Amino acid sequence: MEEYHIHTCIKFRPYRKSDADFIILRSDKPGCWSHVGRKDGGQVINLQPGCLRSGTIAHELLHAIGFRHQQSASDRDDYVTIVWNNIREGKIKLCTCITDPMYQSIQLGG
């Protein structure tokens, strides 16, 4: 989290009982994951011991604040070519473009 404080305007602080929304860091479920965007109440980021690398932690924190995978961006075809035959079975959904905006996402300008 310190990297965010140093390199961005995003600031994390300790939880206060008065906080309606907050991030919960835990490791009681398999894998490294977070839902995308703010969830009412606690937003879980699950980090198993194998996930405790700065890049993985930063990746999951980005999900928590609203960032999706770049391969799902609606304009991704302007920048990359997806070689569909190289994608493992069951993983195609990870490359499906998202066209509906997330109105609570930090990426939505206005």
Amino acid at 25: L
**Catalytic residue status for 3:** no
Consult the annotation and say whether 59 binds a ligand. yes
Provide long-range contacts, Cβ within 8 A and 24+ apart, for 26-31. Answer: 27/51
DSSP per residue over 35-49, as a string? -SS--SSEEEEEE-G
Element (H, E) at 60: helix 54-64
Spot the catalytic one: 2, 3, 60, 89.
60
Consult the annotation and say whether 7 binds a ligand. no
Which strands make up the sheet holding 22-26, listed edge to edge? 22-26, 42-47, 32-34
Cite the annotated binding site for Zn(2+) by residue number: 59, 63, 69
Cite the annotated binding site by residue number: 59, 63, 69
Q: Which residues are catalytic?
A: 60
